[in-house]
Structure 1
Amino acid sequence: MGTGIVTGTGTARRPRAPVAVIGPTAAGKSELALDLAEDLDGEIVNVDAMQQYRGMDIGTAKLDVADRRGIPHHQLDVLDVTETATVARYKIAATADVERLLGAGRTPIIVGGSMMYIQGLLDDWEFPATDPTIRGRYEAQLADIGSVALHARLADVDPVAARTILDSDGRRIVRALEVVELTGRPFAASAPTIGDPRWGTRILVLDRDRDELDARIAVRTDQMFDRGLVEEVERLCAAGLRDGLTASRAIGYAQILDHLAGDCTLDEARERTLIGTRRYVRRQRSWFRRDRRAVWLDAGAPDVHAAARTALGVS
C-alpha cells in the first residue's frame, strides 16, 4: 500500500486516509492524537467504548473540553448511562463520522483502546444477529451465579473465547455464549478476516515499557479517586447507572458501585480498580500484537510525535 499522502500549495502534506492512534490504557494516546490532528487538519473520532457515556468523565480519563485544543471530537457523550453500548451501533455512527470528514477534506484521527470497537470499525465486522430470549437467559445466569462462574461455562464450550475474555467482563461472556449457541460455532469464527483496513487507515499503536505503564496506571487510578470518582458515580446513580448493562460494568465504576453497596471498602475499590486496569492492559497488548498492519511507537521515546510523523510520511 502506498503512503497515501497528498500535497497542497502552501500546506503541509497530509494523509488522504484516516489515522488510528490505538494502544493500551494510559499509554498517552490522547495527546499524540491531538498533535496529529493539528498537523493533518484533522478531527478526533473516539473509539473508547466508555467515553461514549455522558457524565462518565473522571473514570474514563475523558479530556476536558478546555484540553481539546478546539479540535472537534466525535462519538464522545453520545449515550446515557442507561443505554447499552454495542459495537454494532458504534460502527454505524463512527463510519458516518469518518466518511463525512473524508468528504469534507478533513483527516479522521481515530483514537482509543476498545479492541472490538477498533476491529469493528476498521475491518467492517458484520456481527451475528442477537436473540433476546437466548441473551436474556444468559443475562439471568450472570445475575444469578456471577461472571466468574459463567466464564467457567464459556470455557467448557469455547475455551479459545474464554482465554481472550476476562472473567469479570460479564457482558462479553454473555455475548460469546449467545453467539456460540446461535451459530453452533466458536465465538472467534464470527470475527472478520484481517486485510487492508477500511479507507486505507494508517494504524499506529502507542505503547510503553511495562513497568513504566504500570506506574502510570497506578498514578491515574489515584488521580481518579482523588478528583472525585466516588462523587461522579453517586451522581450517575441518580441518572440510572445501576440499571445500565454496560456503563455499570466499566472498570472503576463497577468497583465504586460495590463500595457504595457496602461490598468493599474504598481502599479495596481502589485496589480492585488498579488490578482490573492492569489486567485489561495485558489483554489490549495481546490483541494489538496480532495486527501486523500496525506501526508500533514507544510513547516513552524523546519525541514520539516526530516518530509518528515519520511513520506517516508527513513532512
Structure 2
Amino acid sequence: MSRPIVIVGPTGTGKSDLALNLAEELGGQIVNLDAMQLYKGMNIGTAKVPQYERRGIPHHMLDVLDVNETASVADYQRDARDIVERIRASGQTPIVVGGSMMYYQSLIDEWNFPETDPSVRARYESRLEEIGVQALHAELAAKDPEAAKTILDTDPRRTVRALEVIELTGKPFAASRPTIGKPRWDAHIFALDMETSELDSRLEQRTRRMFEQGFIDEVRHLVPKGLRDGVTAKRAIGYLQVLELLDEFGDSEPTASAVEDALDQTFIGTRRYVRRQRSWFRRDARIRWLDANADATGSLVDQALRTVRKRS
C-alpha cells in the first residue's frame, strides 16, 4: 500500500497548494491536519480551500464539527488514522496537510492519551474564565514547571489539558507525551518554510485579504450557531479578535480604525503562532524541509517528488 505523504510547517507557506499538486500527480486524497478547519463555517479565517478549488480531489476531516463542539486530539487521531488506512487500502496515496502540531504528533507517533474527566476539565475551564489564561498558566507552573515551559501562557486549551492530566494521573504532564520513533506507515514527512521577511509579508497580505473577503461577517454568522459557547473554536486566531471587536461595538458597525486594530492583532497572533510551529517542527529530525521561497530552485512539487521517488 502507498506510503502517506505528510506536509506540515508554518502557516502561510503554501502547504495546501503543494498537497493539491501532489494529489494530482500521484493520484491521492487529502486529509486535513488543521484543528480549526475541522469546524463547519470557519472558512475565511482558517484559509480553508473552497470546494470549487479542490480540483475534484476528495478531502477528509474538514467541516466535521459544529463551532460549539470541542476539538479533541484523541478523536482526531482515531478518525484520521482510520481514513488514512482506507485510502491506502484503496490503492491511492493519502496526503495529510496542515500545521497543527499536536494533531501531527498524534497521527504519526505512538501516543496513548490519558482519559478525560468532564467534571475536572469543566472545573479548570471555569477557573480559566474566572482568572484568565496567564494566571491559570502560573498555577500550572507551580504544579509542573517543565510543562509550563513547553506551553505558552497564551494557550488556554493546552494549559487546561495539562492541569487535567496532572490531576487525573498524578504524574507530570510530560509522562503522557508520545513515543517518538519511526513514523507510522513509514510516511514521507515534509515541512515548508521560507525567509521570515517573505513569510511576514505573505501573512500580512493574507490577513488583510481575509478581512476584505468578509471575515467579520463570517464571524457574525457563526455567533448564533454557538461560536461563543464553544471552548476551542472561539479562541482561534482571528476569531477571538473579531469577537472582541463585535463585543466592543454591539449592534453598531465597527469603525475603520477598530477593524484595522483587529486586523493587526490577528496578524501579530499569526506571526507568534508561526514561531511556535517552526520551533516544534524543527525539533523533529524525521522531517525533510522544502524551500518555499519565491526564488527557490525547483518547484515545491518537484522538490517533494524527488524525495518520494527516491525513497519509494
| TM-score, L = length of structure 2 | 0.93
Contact 2:32 2:62 in 1 (8 A): yes
Query: Unaligned regions of 5+ residues in structure 1, if any?
Result: 1-14
> For residues 170 and 34 of structure 2, what CA distance do their matches in structure 1 show?
30
- How far residue 213 of structure 1 moved from its aligned partner, in angstroms, is 1.1
Contact 1:205 1:294 in 2 (8 A): yes
- How far residue 218 of structure 1 moved from its aligned partner, in angstroms, is 0.9
Name the counterpart of 1:304.
300
> For residues 152 and 24 of structure 1, what CA distance do their matches in structure 2 show?
28
Name the counterpart of 1:168.
154
Contact 2:7 2:96 in 1 (8 A): yes
How do 1:169-208 residues align onto structure 2 when only pairs under 5 Å count? 169-208=155-194
> For residues 97 and 178 of structure 2, what CA distance do their matches in structure 1 show?
21
- How far residue 186 of structure 1 moved from its aligned partner, in angstroms, is 2.3
Per-residue CA deviations over 1:96-154 (Å, capped at 9, x if unaligned) read 11000010001000000000001001113110111222212211110001112111222
SS of the residue corresponding to residue 108 of structure 1 reads: strand
> For residues 138 and 125 of structure 1, what CA distance do their matches in structure 2 show?
23
- How far residue 290 of structure 1 moved from its aligned partner, in angstroms, is 1.2
State the identity as a percent: 58
Name the counterpart of 2:285.
292
2:212 alignment partner, one of 212, 215, 226: 226
Query: Unaligned regions of 5+ residues in structure 2, if any?
Result: none
> For residues 157 and 270 of structure 1, what CA distance do their matches in structure 2 show?
36
Name the counterpart of 2:97.
111
Name the counterpart of 1:282.
275
Between 176-185 and 289-298, report the one with greater CA deviation. 176-185
> For residues 199 and 137 of structure 1, what CA distance do their matches in structure 2 show?
38
Per-residue CA deviations over 1:244-271 (Å, capped at 9, x if unaligned) read 1111111100111111111893222212
Give the ranges of 4+ consecutive aligned residues of structure 1 lying more than 3 Å apart after TM superposition: none
Contact 2:110 2:180 in 1 (8 A): no
- Aligned length, in residue pairs: 301
> For residues 146 and 193 of structure 2, what CA distance do their matches in structure 1 show?
25
- How far residue 70 of structure 1 moved from its aligned partner, in angstroms, is 1.0
Contact 1:164 1:283 in 2 (8 A): no
1:152 alignment partner, one of 138, 148, 152: 138
SS of the residue corresponding to residue 262 of structure 1 reads: helix
Name the counterpart of 1:6.
none
Contact 2:238 2:266 in 1 (8 A): yes
Name the counterpart of 1:243.
229
- How far residue 190 of structure 1 moved from its aligned partner, in angstroms, is 0.6
Name the counterpart of 1:93.
79
Contact 2:110 2:179 in 1 (8 A): no
How do 1:56-135 residues align onto structure 2 when only pairs under 5 Å count? 56-135=42-121
1:266 alignment partner, one of 247, 259, 262: 259
> For residues 142 and 213 of structure 2, what CA distance do their matches in structure 1 show?
42
> For residues 71 and 56 of structure 1, what CA distance do their matches in structure 2 show?
20
- How far residue 298 of structure 1 moved from its aligned partner, in angstroms, is 0.8
> For residues 270 and 145 of structure 1, what CA distance do their matches in structure 2 show?
26
> For residues 159 and 278 of structure 1, what CA distance do their matches in structure 2 show?
26
SS of the residue corresponding to residue 248 of structure 2 reads: coil
